[in-house]
Amino acid sequence: MSTEISVMLASLLTGKTTKTIYRWVDDGILSPRQSGADNKGSFLLALPDLAAHLSLPVSAELEAALQDAMEGKAAGFHNIALIFLEAGQPDIAIRWLEMAAKKGHADAMEWLATGYLEGLGTEVNLAHGIEWLGKAAVAGHPVALAKLRALDS
């Protein structure tokens, strides 16, 4: 059985809006999985069906990270971000880093800080960059702490 994901996760993986994902379903481009349907009209999508719309291949590593993310694990969000960074997709990675960082993942906080400080996947925002660098340092991230010390000198 393939991994089934929500419309929101499909949106985050493709970099498209949820409206686009729903339009793809309405147009027959994607087929909803009824097994995940509920009385509110939401449904799940099979990850392999979405593969043609992803900017990276569906791999065992991606599926494992998605399983963790669907369980709300910060490491899953972080690992997906790293997969997108490795694939040269920082604009998609930054959203996954933010979710992991907000869940307290120190490495994600440091990566997010780098994104804001260097314009990696987002516009440069020094205030946000330093804020996330500080949060990473407080969470015990040694690289973030070293970067803050370097800024202070």
Question: What is the rounded distance in angstroms from the CA atom of residue 153 to the CA atom of residue 82?
Answer: 30
**Residue 41 CB partners (closer than 8 Å, separation 6+):** none
Architecture of domain 1-54: Orthogonal Bundle (1.10)
Q: How many CB atoms lie within 10 A of CB 42?
A: 12
H or E element, residue 44: strand 44-46
**pLDDT score at 32:** 92
**pLDDT score at 39:** 44
Question: What is the rounded distance in angstroms from the CA atom of residue 129 to the CA atom of residue 108?
Answer: 12
Annotated domain spans of the chain:
1-54, 55-153
Which CATH class name applies to 55-153?
mainly alpha
Tell me the pTM.
0.87
**pLDDT score at 35:** 55
Going by DSSP bridges, is the β-strand pair 32-33/4-6 parallel, antiparallel, or unpaired?
Answer: unpaired
**pLDDT score at 33:** 85
- The per-residue pLDDT for range 70-101, each reduced to its tens digit, is 999 999 999 999 999 999 999 999 999 999 99
> Which of the residues in the chain have pLDDT under 70?
1, 34-41
